[in-house]
Amino acid sequence: MHRNLRTFINQLRSEKEIVEIHAEVDPYLEIPEIHRRVIDEEGPALLFTNVKGKDIPVVTNLFGTIKRVDMAFGPKPEQLVKELVGSIDELMPPSPSVLWKKKGMIKDVLSLGTKKVSKSKAPLLETFTTNVNMKDLPALTGWHLDSNPFVTLPLVYTEHPDKHEHNLGMYRIEIKEENKTGIHWQIHKGGGFHHYAAEQKNEALPVTLFLGGPPSLMISAIAPLPEAVPELMFSSMLMGEKLSLAHVDGHPHPLIAEAEFAFGGVVPPHVREPEGPFGDHYGYYSWAHDFPVFNVDKMWKRKDAIYPATVVGKPKQEDYFIGEYLQRLMSPLFPVVMNGVRDLWTYAETGFHALAGAVVRESYYKEGLAHAFRIMGEGQLTLTKFLMVTNKPVNLQNFAELAEGVLERFLPERDLLIIHDTSMDTLDYTGRKFNTGSKAIMTGLGEPVRELKRSYEGGTISGIDNVGVFCGGCLTVSGPSFNEAPDFAEHLLKNSHDSFKDWPLVFLVDDASIAATQAEFLWTTFTRFDPAYDVYAKSTIDRNRIKYEGTIIIDARMKPFYPDVVETREDIDKLVTNRWDEYFKK
């Protein structure tokens, strides 16, 4: 498909999927608010040609609809993955007749990888300087409490200091000084592993930061690939051809020939500085924490470089559509990698890591629990906070269908497991301690044990002012805030048996009307509780076994120690409203 950002932009132009904005716009808050409003309307990509105080254009919202994601990659990657998976049994062991039959697929696979190109065929090398000023970039400040401008589509390339295996990750970059940025690689990510290995040797880790290039690079950097799968190879598969690399004397890494920018430097060992706050894709601010720094000493760029960016915040944002595509692309691999897992989905509405659902095989008693543990031990899925598992074939993208499949089979004494004191996603603060929290597995396996209620007829409940039905068996209820009544979930557990006896799962929330839509329900509930703290159920201990009974109540109200929800500042809201016609005039 697309070898660089330019060909993709040209295709967007030809299909009227991009709008050029020539009015002067500010990268501080204004561009992000324009972007968010266009995303809400599933509108076009945006090319800002007149960025205040900068001489570099900015492109955003490249992947903000399913249509544009499909335009970027076409059907071939999905077809190739499905064909590879479908051919495994035939190719093991291989035979001449089968190899001939699969010659087209084999040719496609052999065409993947990287290729070295000369400097004259590497547009990235058109400009080079050691006089680098990262503040010249039109990096966006997305939310008014952000500590600095951030690079939001960074392609961070590292190599293991001993094994030389590469990693390409998307770790946000905070622009602190002309030659120094923060680098937010989390403890469970490839770049973080490489830095850890370098620190054990008391060595700096060389880093190359790329911006732009083939759209496939941006997707590959986000993809939750196994550690052994190289991102550059995955990018080549998405492109359908080899990825062009250039080599420069004195620089330790290959350079992506068609990138817009490349910055070289090092991450020193044992240096940490505050990074953040930053309004992130959970829809809240992540607070300031100590992270490594990236010292930049060289830059390559195209003469007419374009700066690609995105904006994150409360779902749905652009990362929602990227995540949906990746799951669609990789879903045929799950049964291969995790035998017994029929289907798997993580929910973008919850920031992906807060909730996952799976359909699994259940051929003997509680086999499904073994598959649940397998899921929770796989790569980035280890950060999953809440996993719901059933053996009933359901459409996982419709969460209500999954929830009903689980709840009609759910016995709390058998099917709820809470795992205390585990690592958590860095961006999830519900565990009360940075990088730490708990997990829960809820299974609904075998034959149904109940018929689910779909309308609430339990009468008034003391302290509750509104009741919503999200799906069969699942209620939302709202009453006093956490500040007003922090123990109200416990009160409900003790005093609402008759009202909730037909409802296996109840969420205590700030506004029960969130039950009206999947997006609002998932974001408002699963990003606001920690299983060990906020799941309430009657229980007994039989030796070392905790046996839950009755209704499970989850306190998903906002807590005073959670980060703030990201919100547009009032003056920016008014500014963008007043200028809207100016941005889009012909």
CATH number at residue 141: 2.30.110.10
Section 94-112 average pLDDT: 48
For tokens 């005093």, what's the residue? Answer: 495
Residues 59/304, Cβ–Cβ less than 8 Å: no
Which of 383, 410, 444 represents a domain boundary (last residue)?
444
How far is the C-alpha of 217 from the C-alpha of 232, rounded, in Å?
Answer: 7
Domain co-membership, 365 together with 423: yes
**pLDDT mean across residues, the chain:** 91
Residue 491 lies in a domain: yes
Query: pLDDT at residue 124 above 90?
Result: yes
Counting the structural domains of the chain, the total is: 3
Considering the domain architecture, whether residues 214 and 285 belong to the same structural domain is answered as: yes
| Same domain (yes/no): 142, 285 | yes
Residue 355 lies in a domain: yes
Give yes or no for residue 104 having a pLDDT over 60.
Answer: no
Asked whether residue 580 is assigned to any structural domain, the reply reads no
The model's confidence at residue 87, banded by pLDDT at 50, 70 and 90, is: low
Considering the domain architecture, whether residues 177 and 131 belong to the same structural domain is answered as yes
Q: Could you tell me if 205 and 268 lie in one domain? A: yes
Same domain, 88 and 232: yes
**β-strand 436-444 against 386-390: which pairing, if any?**
parallel
Output the pLDDT for position 105.
43
Q: Report the Cα 165 to chain-centroid distance in Å.
A: 24
pLDDT at 542: 86
Q: Is 338 inside any structural domain?
A: yes
Q: Is 567 inside any structural domain? A: no
Same domain, 154 and 296: yes
Confidence of residue 81 (pLDDT cuts 50, 70, 90): low
Model pLDDT for residues 18-63, shown as the tens digit of each residue: 999 999 999 999 999 999 999 999 999 999 999 999 999 999 999 9
Are 223 and 121 within one domain? Answer: yes
- Kindly state whether residue 302 falls inside one of the protein's structural domains: yes
Asked if the model's pLDDT at residue 93 lies above 80, the reply is no
Mapping DSSP onto H, E and C, the string for 218-278 reads HHHHHCCCCCCCCHHHHHHHHHCCCEEEECCCCCCCCEECCCCEEEEEEECCCCCEEECCE
The reply to whether 560 falls in a domain is no
Boundary residue ending a domain (309, 343, 375): 309
- The set of residues, in sequence order, having a beta carbon less than 8 Å from that of 201 and lying 6+ positions away, is 161
For 300-352, how does the pLDDT look when each residue is reduced to its tens digit (9 = 90+)?
999 999 999 999 999 999 999 988 888 888 777 777 777 889 999 999 999 88
Of the candidates 500, 1, 484, the one whose C-alpha atom is nearest the C-alpha of residue 218 is 1
Residues 6+ apart with CB under 8 A from 110: none
Contact call for residues 347 and 358 (beta carbons, < 8 A): no
Q: Per residue in 184-232, pLDDT tens? A: 997 677 889 999 999 999 999 999 999 999 999 988 888 777 666 778 8
Residue 111 has pLDDT above 60, yes or no: no
Q: What is the pLDDT of residues 534-555, one digit of tens each?
A: 999 999 998 888 999 999 999 9
Q: Are residues 259 and 391 in the same domain?
A: no
**3-class SS of residue 406:** helix
pLDDT digits (tens, 9 = 90+) for 455-467: 999 889 989 999 9
pLDDT at site 240: 81
pLDDT-derived band at 423 (thresholds 50, 70, 90) equals: confident
pLDDT in tens, 149-186: 999 999 999 999 998 889 899 999 999 999 999 999 97
Q: Which of 456, 496, 459 is nearest to 476 (CA)?
A: 456
Residue 495 covered by a domain: yes
Both 328 and 222 in one domain: the answer is no
Owning domain of residue 543: 466-555
Residue 240 shares a structural domain with residue 266: yes
Domain ends where: 274, 309, 344?
Answer: 309
Does residue 23 sit in the same domain as residue 151?
yes
